[in-house]
Chains A and B, each alone.
Chain A
């Protein structure tokens, strides 16, 4: 389980996370939603230890990760697989080298076992046999899938998705959403955390949704809770209206 307790993070005078309390249950697909600039990515970076909160605790599996030094954080990060918004594949490496990279860095598996695992995860994301290709030869959707394969290859406990469907056409978006569900179903014990402002995808895919507004949780619950919420901020986010309490930059 992941728990944020009174987490605060500011950049200069701009407070992004303000006394944030958040619980992410294990084994489920949790969507963290909110409009741009509400601290979704900052939340995920704090969770990964790539950023450090100014105050508060982040408890992961009973351990306060804000107390870990850089060396321990590097070990801690191995619990996570992350799919970046633009996949962030290493463009100097082939697909196979990209996917095998975390295995080479963190395991002592013999090479044939690593190659077998690479083929296994590429098959899982629907792209078997493309190890020799380079990222520049792939479509945006394929890059995302390779990014997901790389995130999955070390069998992480948590998979983080940073805006996985932003800028995608509806077909690719649906395919990615389907993959998130498939991974959470097929990989035992894995928890999926998705950062998104795609409410439609959240309602269709999530088991748990957390909405951030002004650096705090406005509402956390199931998709049903969100559909039935009378909170004006949630209603405005649902309707996509410019009229309401939520201000636009």
Chain B
């Protein structure tokens, strides 16, 4: 009896592992296909522009609001601590450093994953379950080329730009707290910030934003294309897509930060 149970457990584990490995393999084949098609004709410029508008323009408000409050709150927290050591003048520099290297790319990634990634998955999943993607394939049009590549390219272009906006508006938030609440001199605020924050910090932040853009768009479209099972399937695909995107962003963030700090 015990042997039989153990045998079944090993079989189940083997099947589960095999299925997971197959899924991972399929995902990498899909990633290869997207990258390959991104540099091949037909280039769907008008679809890319539609996505640029959706990802960039329509996300601007939420980035502005979140960026401002993140900078302001971080400034308040860090300013309170620096005040103990009479070093309030450094709060602008510390906030800007944190924003450029970490907060802006991470928060932009999270926000875009929730707003854009979920929408991409839901749209593609609805198209899949209502046979619209099958119809596209039946008409000899590759859904990866038509639906995924424009979203991938637009994400790659727009998310780093949104990250720059986040940094800029976050610094304005920190400036208002610093100057308004902690009475930091404007000249000192700017001088310390320009001394401590350099181009490498901005470049490192943008690298992260670009990698998060790749993750968000690829994961969102992957889950959308593979959805099945009607309205419930769309819901499951969307939830899974957002959860996996957020986890992927966090995991990658650790790896990228380690590489940036060490090398």
A residues sitting closer than 8 Å to B (CB atoms) are 48, 50, 74-78, 80, 82, 84-86, 88-91, 101-102, 105-106, 160
Contacts and interface: CB of A to CB of B under 8 A. Distances in A.
A105 B135 contact: no
B131 A88 contact: yes
B17 to A, nearest CB: 18
B131 A84 contact: yes
19 contacts: A48-B138, A50-B134, A50-B137, A50-B138, A84-B131, A84-B134, A84-B135, A84-B138, A86-B131, A88-B130, A88-B135, A90-B132, A90-B135, A91-B130, A101-B139, A102-B141, A105-B139, A106-B140, A160-B138
A74 B140 contact: yes
B140 A91 contact: no
B132 A77 contact: no
B146 to A, nearest CB: 8
User: Which among B131, B132, B137 has the greatest number of chain A C-beta atoms within 10 A?
Assistant: B132
B138 A77 contact: yes
Contacts of A80: 138
B185 interface: no
Contacts of A102: 139-141
Contacts of B137: 48, 50, 77
Contacts, number: 50
Interface residues of B, number: 12
A85 B141 CA distance: 19
A48 B131 CA distance: 15
B142 interface: yes
B231 to A, nearest CB: 14
Nearest to B135: A88
A85 B131 contact: yes
A88 B139 contact: no
Interface in B126-175: 127, 130-132, 134-135, 137-142
A186 to B, nearest CB: 22
Contacts of B127: 90
Contact of B140 (A86, A88, A90, A105): A105
A82 B139 CA distance: 8
User: Which among B130, B137, B138, B141 has the greatest number of chain A C-beta atoms within 10 A?
Assistant: B138
B140 A77 contact: yes
A38 B260 CA distance: 58
B142 A74 contact: yes
Contacts of B139: 77-78, 82, 101-102, 105-106
A101 B141 CA distance: 10
A118 to B, nearest CB: 15
B108 to A, nearest CB: 26
A117 to B, nearest CB: 15
Contacts of A105: 139-141
Given A85-B131, A102-B139, 5 more contacts: A50-B134, A75-B140, A77-B137, A90-B132, A101-B139
A6 B95 CA distance: 70
Contacts of A90: 127, 132, 135
